[in-house]
Each structure stands twice: as C-alpha cells, then as structure tokens.
Chain A
Amino acid sequence: RKEVEQDPGPFNVPEGATVAFNCTYSNSASQSFFWYRQDCRKEPKLLMSVYSSGNEDGRFTAQLNRASQYISLLIRDSKLSDSATYLCVVTASWGKLQFGAGTQVVVTP
C-alpha cells in the first residue's frame, strides 16, 4: 500500500462548478499536511497548508480527518486556470515528506 494515495482523475469540471477530492495517508504519526499544485512539467507550488480545524483560502477549502486518515480539497466556482494536478503532501513525525501521485483536474468552458 502506498503511503499517500490519491485518485489520479482526471476530474472534468465545468467552469463555475465545485470539485472535491481526497487523499489518504497510511502513517498515523503524520504531523503536517499540504496541498501543492503542479502544472505540467513545472515545479510544485504550495497551494495551502491543511490545519486540524480545516481552513479556507478564497475558493479553496481544505479539511483534515485524522480518524480516517485523509485530507480533502474542495474548489468552488472553478476557473479554467484551476486546471492542474493537485499533490497531497504529508510529513511524518521525523519531517520526511511523502508525496501523493496527484489528482488531475481539468476545468472545461
């Protein structure tokens, strides 16, 4: 079993719609969680950290469920520019990062 698992997608989303997807992690000792965005053949860029209480940044909402060991990302009012691969990143207690393979989102006009 992979340490961090994501649905690869693609999630095809009409412009203006809402899309949500999860990421599961296997290490219960994981301390920190992040969502990164990666465009094709570009470097990942931090989208947002994920806090225990859940957090929102504009149209993006992240949630953490420690009991079920997953994090989620919700994108509201999708824009064409939101088309990308979203990487789930989890750190273990020793600080090592684990990357998911990414979820591809395609926003269509």
Chain B
Amino acid sequence: GAVVSQHPSWVICKSGTSVKIECRSLDFQATTMFWYRQFPKQSLMLMATSNEGSKATYEQGVEKDKFLINHASLTLSTLTVTSAHPEDSSFYICSASPGQFNEKLFFGSGTQLSVL
C-alpha cells in the first residue's frame, strides 16, 4: 500500500524555539496533504490542508503565522511550529491520499512534540 513517511517521531524542545516536521509520500504523488493535531484522548483535529505550489488552507482557529506549511513538491510537505510554547505540545500527524479525493488516507507515523 501507499506509504507516508513523517519525521521526526519525537521532539523535545525549549519554549521559544521552532520545530520543523516533514511529511513525505514515498510511492505516490500527493498534490494535497493534511496536517492534524491530536491531544490525549481526543480526536484528530484538522489543522490545515497543504496544497502543492500554493498557500495552505487553514482551519478556523489555527494561526497560519504560528504553523507554517510549505508544500514545495508533490512528495513533501513541511509543518513548522514557530516559537513553540508548552501549549503546543501535542501529537502532530500528516496524511495524504493517492486518489483524486481525500478518501482512504494514508497517515504518517506522527510526531510527538513536547515543549518544555
């Protein structure tokens, strides 16, 4: 099946630093990738839709200047958490679909971010 690679798996950083997370589709091209955040015992919350070659579409309440998304190629999207604070600590996960619609998503393995 389709494979989506995400790294790093774990990040521990000091408050105020920026953290970059990469999401790669290894065996298919993805014009669209999705970034989610998941707090313990809660559902995945869509943060933004990453579009290759254009600006990302952010969900309501998600600060675009805080969470910078770059989708420079058909196989790579990056999420940068700028000036991270403890409240940004969460499980971040990306997904992509090889199909025309975003059904049957394949997920990256997720990144656990802990901001001290």
Contacts and interface: CB of A to CB of B under 8 A. Distances in A.
Contacts of A87: 43-44
Given A4-B43, A8-B41, A97-B46, A41 B112 contact: yes
Interface in B95-116: 101-110, 112
Contacts of A100: 43
A41 B91 contact: yes
Contacts of B60: none
Given A41-B112, A43-B93, A34 B104 contact: yes
B91 A45 contact: no
- Chain B interface helix/strand/loop/mixed: loop
A54 to B, nearest CB: 19
Given A41-B110, A42-B110, A45-B107, A99 B41 contact: no
A34 B104 CA distance: 8
Contact of A43 (B34, B46, B103, B110): B110
Interface residues of B, number: 22
B41 A43 contact: no
Contacts, number: 48
A95 B102 contact: yes
Interface in B28-42: 34, 36, 41-42
Interface residues of A, number: 20
A20 interface: no
Contacts of A95: 101-103
Contacts of B105: 46, 97
Contacts of B44: 44, 87, 99
